[in-house]
Amino acid sequence: MGDLVISLDSVSKIYRQGQKETLGLDAVTLHIQEKEFVVVRGPSGSGKTTLLVLIAGLLRPSQGVITVNQQNLERLNSQQKAAFRARNVGFVFQMFHLVPYLSVLENVLLGTGQRETEKTRSVNLLESLGLGEKLSSLPAELSAGEQQRTAVARALISNPKIILADEPTGNLDPVSAQTVLDHLDQFQKGGGTVILASHSDLADRYANRLVHLKQGRISEGLSVTADEEDRKGNPAGTPQS
Amino acid sequence: MKIWRLVIKEIGYRKVNFLLSLMAVAASVGLFTVFVTTGEGYRNETRKIQLGMGQNLRIIPLETRMDQFWSAGYSELTMPEEYVYRFAALDGYEYTHLTATLQQAIDLKGRRIILTGILPEVMPPGRNQPPIMFSVERGEVYVGSEVARFFDIQEGQGIDLEGRSFRVTRALSPTGSNDDIKVFGHLEDIQELLGLEDRINEITALECLCLIESGQTELDALALAEAQLAEILPEGKVLLLRGIADVRERQRAAMEGYLGLLTPLVILIGGISIGILTMLNVRERYEEIGILRAIGRGSWSIATLFLGRALLMGVLGAPIGFFLGGLIALHFGPQIFSLTSGALRLNFAWLALLIVLAPAFTAIAAFIPTARAVNWDPLTTLRDS
């Protein structure tokens, strides 16, 4: 493992809608190092997505400090946060969230300056994800697995340090899910950090570490750390003391 | 990826939505164009109808005997034609439909007729509105109904007046006034016939009577008009016909009130329809907003995506609406405003203004929902989409 890349200290998030308050995260402290593959587990509504969105700087915490890549996000304004995300973070969503009127290649290029080198790199990346024949297809013409691989390519194209993946396999068949997880695994092996939220155990065997969330809190005693050599070999969630 | 490329791609993908929005903008601009064009037609028509009542400002030679003037219908004295141009150049005096006449009764084959030379309408400096008063070309005359009937003159025939031959281009309908015994010609022709070159015996105009409207009395207005005109027209005498002005003013106020009520309504309804369609488009695109924020696009860049589309809609919708509205106004307008149908025309100054205003309107309509959407929690935006 490398340097500390993500640090959350006593981070809480409260959603307010009129008089109603909902606790999204409750005093979460979490430190993630470079080249970690962290799987955040927990049932729906446990705060997994909130955690990812806070790390991406898309939401402000109600309390606590978040530092990503040695940058305290609270000190950045919204434009600086956008630039920070563009440089450091790639996002993969459960619902793919591709722009419907852009082709596969254009969706990948969306977050880039669309220079010729980026275009070539995008084509190569898409080919490596098995989408070489679909470069000019629209999202509606793709299968769910192809759409998610496009989303993964979009997250990877800007060479981010961190990939945040929110239920990336939630809508995929097992084969497609495996392909997507393999690519995230490759990214991690290439030096990146992956934080993947999931309510299923499918991704557990890729994880260096499992973090369990329940009602916005990290469940005591359920966080586990897996050694590199044990990854994929161990069943999900087996504690390693 | 460049924002404009995204704008064009989105339009290509949601063609129907864009076409509907474009039609809404074009319909709003078209409605406005029909309204202002026919509104102007309405004003012209009203002025023309009011002219039948006669002009309310008359300037006659200073020494005119009023018993002679009222009995003959014109002054037997004359004043310099130059007065009409001095009056036209008078600063700060509101008037329209300024003209000058030279009238004199002559004997034509045993019948008394009134020769009337008319100067083509003189526009105030810097104003270029279509003339409403009729004017006669040189070498031609219009004859009153009684003259035409008595001498059995048809349009297109010739007529000899004081040894000169003229072509009758119009035989006028009966008016029930002394116009029926007049022969109207160009001022210069009549001046030559009467040997009164560069002389006139009346200046007529529609005066706005703004002073009376703003609370001053009729006497004040008359005194002020006399004082102002005495300096530049020392040989002129001012007559203000208050009764005509009152009726005219009431009718004009009713017309302006009607147009003044409808104009903001038309703009408001157009603006609301554009705003609703733009809001619907923004709502349909919450997912894009969430995606673009998640991949690191700034708020301004995202706002530009929506504002760009709205601007394009306004820039394209304005000329389409203007010309469609213009076609409708010019097709149906003449059927409504028969007296001034020739004066009904498209004002291209509006086109220039609409090309600026319509995009501004669409951009403002798009700005509010876009500004709200880019500030929303992206998590909610993506979940809702």
Give the distance from residue B375's alpha carbon to the nearest chain A alpha carbon, in angstroms: 10
CB contact under 8 A, B295 and A110: yes
Q: Please say which residue of B206, B221, B240 terminates a domain.
A: B240
Least confident range from A6-15, A157-166, B7-16, B300-309: namely: B300-309
Of A14 and B337, the structure prediction assigns the larger pLDDT to A14
Pair B112, B200 in one domain: yes
Q: How many CB atoms lie within 10 A of CB A24?
A: 24
For residue B9, being part of any structural domain is answered with: yes
Number of H helices, E strands in chain B: 13, 11
Mean pLDDT by runs of 10 across the 241 residues of chain A is 86 89 92 94 89 89 94 86 87 86 92 76 90 94 91 90 91 85 92 90 89 86 48 41 29
In a shared domain, residues B69 and B170: yes
Closest CA to B209 of B57, B47, B40, B51: B57
pLDDT of residue B271 exceeding 90: no
Cβ–Cβ < 8 Å for B129, B120 = no
pLDDT of residue B381: 65
**Contact (CB<8Å) A59/B294:** no
Longest dimension (CA), chain A: 52
- From residue A35, how far is each of A184, A193, B175, B281 by CA, in Å? 11, 4, 101, 42
Which chain B residue is nearest to residue A81, measuring alpha carbons?
A: B296
CA A213 to chain centre: 16
Q: Are B210 and B91 members of one domain?
A: yes
Mean pLDDT value of segment B274-291 = 79
Residues whose CB falls within 8 Å of the CB of residue A48, separated by 6 or more in sequence, listed in order: A40, A41, A42, A166, A167, A197, A198, A199, A213
Residue of B nearest to A80 (CA): B298
d(CA B73, CA B64): 12
What is the pLDDT at residue A222?
Answer: 45
Q: Which residues of B touch A110 (CB under 8 A)?
A: 1, 291-292, 295
What pLDDT score does B128 carry? 65
Q: Which of B176-190, B253-267, B357-371 has the highest mean pLDDT?
A: B176-190
B218, B240, B262 - which closes a domain? B240
Q: Which of B174, B208, B240 is the last residue of a domain?
A: B240
How many domains would you assign to chain B?
2
Q: How close A141 gets to chain B, by Cα (Å)?
A: 14
Residues B266 and B321 in one domain: yes
For residue B180, the surrounding DSSP H or E stretch is none
Q: Which residues of chain B are within 8 Å of residue A95 when distances are taken between CB atoms?
A: 382
Q: Is residue B349 predicted with pLDDT exceeding 60?
A: yes
Tell me: the pLDDT tens digits for B91-110?
666 667 788 999 999 998 88
* Domain identity same for B178 and B87: yes
Residues on chain B touching A49 (C-beta within 8 angstroms): 379
pLDDT at B215 over 90: no
Is B295 found in the same domain as B177? no
pLDDT band of residue B288 (cuts 50, 70, 90) is: confident
Enumerate the residues of chain A whose CB falls inside 8 A of the CB of residue B2. Answer: 114
Would you call A59 and B378 a contact, using CB atoms and an 8 Å cutoff? yes
B245: in domain: no
Altogether, the residues listed in chain B come to a count of 385
Same domain, yes or no: B207 and B330: no
User: Same structural domain for residues B219 and B255?
Assistant: no
User: What domains, with CATH codes, occur in chain A?
Assistant: 4-230 (3.40.50.300)
**What gap in Å lies between CA B116 and CA B141, rounded to an integer?**
10
Q: Which of A81, A94, A101, A109 to mutate to test the interface with B (most CBs of B within 10 A)?
A: A101
- Evaluate the CA torsion angle A126, A127, A129, A130 in order and state its sign: positive
**Are B154 and B35 part of one and the same domain?**
no
Instruction: Say if residue B286 is in the same domain as residue B368.
Output: yes
Report the gap between the CA of A185 and the closest CA in chain B (Å). 21
Tell whether B273 is covered by a domain: yes
Question: What is the structure's pLDDT at A2?
Answer: 65
Number of A–B residue contacts, CB under 8 Å:
75
pLDDT digit string, tens, across residues B136-195: 899 999 999 999 999 999 899 999 998 899 999 999 999 888 899 999 999 999 999 999
Nearest residue in A to B385, CA atom? A97
For A50, the closest chain B residue by CA position comes to B379
* E-strand stretches of A42-137: 63-68, 71-72, 89-92
What burial letters (b/e) apply to B328-360, b meaning 16+ CB within 10 Å? Answer: bbbeebeeebebbeebbebeeebbeebbebbbe
Q: Which residue has the higher pLDDT, A232 or B247?
A: B247
B128 or B309, which is more confident: B309
| Domain range for B274 | 3-48+250-384
Residue range B284-301: average pLDDT?
80
B93 assigned to some structural domain? yes
**Interface TM-score (ipTM) > 0.95:** no
Kindly state whether residues B17 and B125 are assigned to the same domain.
Answer: no
Asked whether residue B79 falls in the same domain as residue B193, the answer is yes
